[in-house]
Chains A and B, each alone.
Chain A
Amino acid sequence: MSEIQNPKSKIQNPAAFQPKILAFLCNWCSYAGADLAGVSRLQYPPNVRVIRVPCSARVDPMFILAALQRGADGVLVSGCHPGDCHYLSGNLVARRRFALLKTLLEEAGFETERVHFSWVSAAEGGRFAELIREVTEKVRAMGPAQQLVKRL
């Protein structure tokens, strides 16, 4: 399967694998945090594709599996810190769900370094950039995703 390289990589580092990471960010906290990183002109790897959701609880485990099936090298889901959910308890319900998904993937032998969950608040622009740096490097180290990718 041919890799579609990020054009920037040809300029920065032609040999590096550029992972495609899908990030589900909750509108009220994590997306706002990402926005703050943007207006603050903080630099972070361009490998993330953001999907804005109203709440981390909107993220169905099947979104994550579907993303992996369609070629995402990594998936990130980020919401409000527990206790700060705009909808009061969405992130708390989501927390249980994601814990179980990660356990399931681990049990099946999937490379769980590709799937990340985090809490980033609207004021944490710097922390968002740091999170993307860490997730990108972790996923880059795993190489292109193969396990659940649909080829037929």
Chain B
Amino acid sequence: MNDVTSVVLQIRETARRLLDEGRVELVLGFEAGPIALRNAPCFVRNAGEAERLTWDRSCGMNLAVFLNGNPRRIAVFAKGCDSRAIVNMLKERRLARENLVIVGVPCRGMIDRGKVERLVGGAEIDSARIAGDTLVVVTGSRRWEWPVEEVLRQSCKSCATPTPRYDDLLLEGEARPPAAEEAAAPQPDRVERWARFQAEAAKCIRCYACRNVCPLCYCRECRADQAGPRWIGTSPTPSDNALWLLMRAMHQAGRCVDCGACVEACPVGVDVRHLFKRLEREVRERFGYVSGADPNEKPPLATFNMDDPEDFITNV
């Protein structure tokens, strides 16, 4: 998977240059991880280490999470989704803009390891590589093949900014075309919706990996951990799990940029992306706000409009 492509060469060269020029103290990118189909974040502190940096279709993690409250001068290799997260973090004053060098990397979409794991029936993935437009995976003595497009993350398929829009420097490379707006899927009825939500909540083990990889989840004391008041119980029981997922969605309302890092990080495959996505659509349609677009735009819940819709109000 780690072919040295033009993007990889540009990344290493840019890292070397930024460190040599003293423009940054730290470069944030990806390196080959211990397991296939999941690259690890890479922290490069001097030009000699730049060779560790790589880039391929397994760079799904949102590197912006490491920028939170970090006082160093940092360069980050940002995909479109990472860049959107950085925009929201700037609105919330989580970053000193002058300490940041955002190097945009055009993105063709990242592979959904969870999907591949399900497709191979949970077998251990020994190796993976891309041949043309095909992902080839080996588990034991068995070889599997799928078109890469088929095993991409959902959030990549619906990404509006595969070429990062907010950056200091943009590398050259091929990006997938921006997706047309995700058509609102035909809504299952309420009973089905609840059943689906309960099924996802039942899987949750409250490990908080989703929270930990999210760049916008940065509260020093998360509400879920607070004991006074105890907002939600800590055990993975149906009601508390449901409240955890609803709480996180509500706290991310208007802030989430649908980078998909949470879905990818979940060890048990909880996928409540539809909740986050619905709220993203809602803030766009109700308040005309696009998450992760303009760092000068006020967050939707920090402001108001006299004419905000009142369709949900009970009137007598």
Q: Which B residue sits closest to A124, measured CB to CB?
A: B316
Known: A93-B304, A99-B309. A131 touches B250 (CB 8 A): no
Name the prevailing secondary structure of the B interface residues. Answer: helix
Which residues does chain A contribute within 8 Å of B239, judged by CB atoms?
69, 148-152
Known: A107-B193, A117-B313. A65 touches B246 (CB 8 A): yes
Pull 16 A–B residue pairs with CB atoms less than 8 Å apart, ordered by A: A62-B247, A65-B243, A82-B310, A92-B305, A92-B308, A95-B310, A96-B287, A99-B309, A99-B312, A104-B246, A108-B194, A108-B197, A117-B313, A148-B243, A150-B239, A152-B238
B304 touches A95 (CB 8 A): yes
Which residues does chain A contribute within 8 Å of B313, judged by CB atoms?
95, 117-119
- Could you say which of A95, A102, A150 contacts B240, with CB atoms under 8 Å apart? A150
B312 touches A102 (CB 8 A): yes
Count how many chain B residues have C-beta atoms less than 8 Å from C-beta atoms of the other chain: 48
B286 touches A82 (CB 8 A): no
In the bound complex, what is the Cα–Cα distance between A116 and B312 (angstroms)? 8
Task: Mark each residue of chain A from 52 to 91: 1 if its CB lies under 8 Å from any CB of chain B, else 0.
Answer: 0000000001100110010000001000001100000100
B250 touches A100 (CB 8 A): yes
With contacts A109-B192, A109-B194 known, what are 9 further pairs, Cβ within 8 A? A62-B223, A65-B243, A66-B232, A93-B301, A93-B302, A96-B286, A99-B282, A100-B282, A104-B246
B240 touches A131 (CB 8 A): no
In the bound complex, what is the Cα–Cα distance between A108 and B313 (angstroms)? 19
Count how many chain A residues have C-beta atoms less than 8 Å from C-beta atoms of the other chain: 42
The chain A residues found within 8 Å of chain B, CB to CB, are 61-62, 65-66, 69, 76, 82-83, 89, 92-93, 95-105, 107-111, 116-119, 127, 130-131, 134-135, 147-152
When A and B form their complex, which 5 residue pairs have the shortest distance between CB atoms, in order from nearest? Answer: A109-B193, A109-B194, A92-B304, A150-B239, A116-B314
Closest chain A CB from B138 CB (angstroms):
39
